Amino acid sequence: MTRLLVSGVFLVTVYSLFGLHPSLSPLCGPLLLLSAARTLSASPEVMAGISGTEKVQLHAPELEELRGALQAGLESNFAEVQVSVVDCPDLTQDPFKFPAKGLCGSPRITDVGGVPYLVPVVHKDKEYNMNTISKELELPGAFIIGAGAAPSSIIGMNAELVPLVLTEKDGRPAVNGSYFSSIHPSSGQCLQEKYSDRFSDCNFALLANLYACEGKPGKVIEVRAKKRTGSKSLVTALRTALEDRYPDKSLALGGTFIIQKGKAKIHIMPREFSACPLNTNDEVNNWLKHFEVSAPLICQSVLVSRDPGLDLRVEHTHCFSHHGEGGHYYIDTTPDSVEYLGYFMPAEYVYRIDRPKETHGVGRD
């Protein structure tokens, strides 16, 4: 069945000084409004209520310049740091086993939906499709990774989603390598499953922070960090390193990292949405189920140094493992022994899709 969706034909460059958005300045680059009609294939309910897509060009320095900024920033949080520009490893191989080889080619990020669709009260109608999202990103066939919420209407419960999708293009079917983590109904422990083992779609719900590219090999930023000496997680340390080096610009990184040694704190949302409104961070944290999980953990992360007026979640990371543990990553819990190995790329654009009209800052840790 076809569904008429809001999408991109009408293109205009504007700045906040013209009154479009009070928090967007010319320093953030152009805001491109994508807001006309396109006919796309989707299930009857998927993305039926999507609003406009906003596009902002990000500052994307050369990799060698980024390498230096990240090296300097991470040294204040880890005892051993080595940031390099390297060829991206083949991500179809162990330990990743992703559906695409690399992180290169037209890199971009998107923030879809948002926490206001989850709390204080869930909006169950907010469901999206990765193949449609790739078209909204002007990159049909994109390789998409990141962190989001699983589609409860399909899997029958609430769960954390670790998206790993090579989207469809020119008759090539999508390849869904995603994982989802839920609370085991009897043991109360983490239950991680491969999405394609049970389901054949490429849907997600409520919210997602995603990195998209052509999935090609190429040069990337490699980050090696050992023995955390500061209070920041690896993701927060990367983000604040960029924020400190480029205080008046918006930069974003997307990619994957492995916690090679140590343990980490994660959360998993309960199988049932909250029956009561969740209005504070304490209420959200009390609703979530927290766990300590063991390396090796493979994480997908999206981070933004500075929100260019789009109500972005500035960092979001989910992880999976080949031993059955995964969820929403906070920080390692073994600073003396932790070891990280990551691969990242700077995004050229951010796309804000279906931004909530009513927003808040609750539940974004």
360: in domain: no
pLDDT at residue 46, rounded to an integer: 60
How would you classify the pairing of strands 2-7 and 13-14?
unpaired
Q: DSSP label at 62? A: -
Residues 259, 340: Cα–Cα separation, whole Å? 5
Does the residue 18 lie in any domain? no
The percent of residues above 90 in pLDDT, for the chain, comes to 85
In terms of residue numbers, what domain contains 123? 61-353
**How much is the average pLDDT of 42-52?**
56
**Least confident among 49-53, 114-118, 235-239, 302-306:** 49-53
Q: Is residue 126 part of a domain?
A: yes
- Name, in order, each residue with C-beta under 8 angstroms of 106's C-beta and a sequence gap of 6 or more: 139, 142, 212, 213, 214, 348
State how far the Cα of 43 lies from the Cα of 155, in Å rounded to an integer: 15
pLDDT for res 48: 54
3-state secondary structure of 96: coil
Q: Does a structural domain hold residue 81? A: yes
Give the pTM.
Answer: 0.89
Tokens matching residue 105: 């080619």
Query: Is 161 in contact with 149 (CB distance < 8 Å)?
Result: yes
pLDDT tens per residue, range 236-284 = 999 999 999 999 999 999 999 999 999 999 999 999 999 999 999 999 9
pLDDT confidence bin for 25, thresholds 50/70/90: very low
> Does the structure show a pLDDT above 80 at 18?
no
pLDDT of residue 52: 87
Residue-wise pLDDT for 135-186, tens only, equals 999 999 999 999 999 999 999 999 999 999 999 999 999 999 999 999 999 9
- pLDDT, residue 3, reads 29
* Residue 31 domain-assigned (yes or no): no
> What's the domain count of the chain?
1
293: pLDDT confidence band, cut at 50, 70 and 90?
A: very high
Mean pLDDT over each residue of the chain, to the nearest integer: 90
Give the C-alpha separation, 209 to 109, whole Å: 7
How does residue 49 score in pLDDT terms, banded at 50, 70 and 90?
Answer: low
Tokens of 64: 């060698």
Give the three-state DSSP class for 42.
coil
Q: Is residue 364 part of a domain?
A: no
75-107 pLDDT, tens per residue?
Answer: 999 999 999 999 999 999 999 999 999 999 999
Q: Is there a domain that residue 235 lies in?
A: yes
Instruction: State the pLDDT at residue 7.
Output: 34
Residue 111: per-residue pLDDT: 99
**Residue 157 confidence (pLDDT):** 98
- pLDDT-based confidence at residue 321 (cuts at 50, 70, 90): very high
Instruction: Evaluate whether residue 108 is within a structural domain.
Output: yes
Query: Are the C-beta atoms of 360 and 66 separated by less than 8 Å?
Result: no
Q: In whole angstroms, what is the distance from residue 67 CA to residue 245 CA?
A: 11
What is the mean predicted confidence (pLDDT) over 297-304? 99
Q: Which residues fall within 8 angstroms of residue 59, CB to CB, at 6 or more apart?
A: 29, 246, 249, 250, 251
Instruction: Give residue 58's pLDDT band: very low, low, confident or very high (50, 70, 90).
Output: very high
User: Does position 15 have pLDDT exceeding 50, yes or no?
Assistant: no
Q: Is the pLDDT of residue 214 over 50?
A: yes
Burial of 309-341, coded b for 16+ CB within 10 Å and e otherwise, reads bbbbbbbbbbbbbeeebbbbbbbbebbeebbbb
Look at residue 365 in the predicted model and tell me its pLDDT: 85
